[in-house]
Chain A
């Protein structure tokens, strides 16, 4: 079966760095996505990785290792507004997105 695993909840301190991990087992792979979802709002696109390595975009970076079925989202210089759920999703061989359950990130002052 297809499976995406990520931690349910994480807590970090304002100004710090946090890494949210995602492991996956899917039928085929056409890219891995990270989305941010604030409570009561729809998800917003953060990043896309299809090749191994690190993609940096401002304070956010995303890493992919296809051989390990592993990705992480790295958030630097955390701000209170970064408190949200972070969703990992993999596009399978049918170009369908398989979603993780999301990681709720709590930022403390």
Chain B
């Protein structure tokens, strides 16, 4: 299957700082990538849809100025959590949409565990 990488795997930061998370599709081009957040023992929550070369589409309740998304190339999308606070601590997971085969499938990165102190 297609491979999606995510970096860093985990990060600890101080309250008020910004954190950037990278999502890369390694063996396919992804015009669309998705960013999810998952709190312990809860479902995946879609935060935003990232389209290459255009502005991201944010889900209701997700602050676009706080969660900056950039999808500058067909293999890279970044999520920047600006002025992070403890309540932003969560598991952030990206996925990339692979439409190259006969299916239209999302493949997930391994996730980034963010802890804000």
**Which residues of A does B touch, CB under 8 Å?**
30-31, 33, 35, 40-45, 48, 50, 87, 91, 95-97, 99-102
Contacts and interface: CB of A to CB of B under 8 A. Distances in A.
Interface of B: 1, 6, 34, 43-44, 46, 49, 91, 93, 97, 103-111
Given A43-B44, A44-B108, A101-B43, 6 more contacts: A30-B104, A42-B93, A97-B34, A97-B46, A99-B43, A99-B46
Nearest to A98: B46
Nearest to B110: A42
A95 B44 contact: no
Which applies to chain A's interface (DSSP): helix, strand, loop or mixed? loop
A85 to B, nearest CB: 9
B26 to A, nearest CB: 15
Contacts of B43: 87, 99-102
B42 to A, nearest CB: 8
* Closest A-B pairs by Cβ, 5 of them: A42-B111, A42-B108, A101-B43, A42-B93, A48-B103
A40 B38 CA distance: 10
Given A41-B110, A45-B1, A99-B43, A33 B93 contact: no
Given A41-B111, A42-B110, A87 B105 contact: no
B109 to A, nearest CB: 6
Contacts of B107: 45
Contacts of B104: 30-31, 91, 95
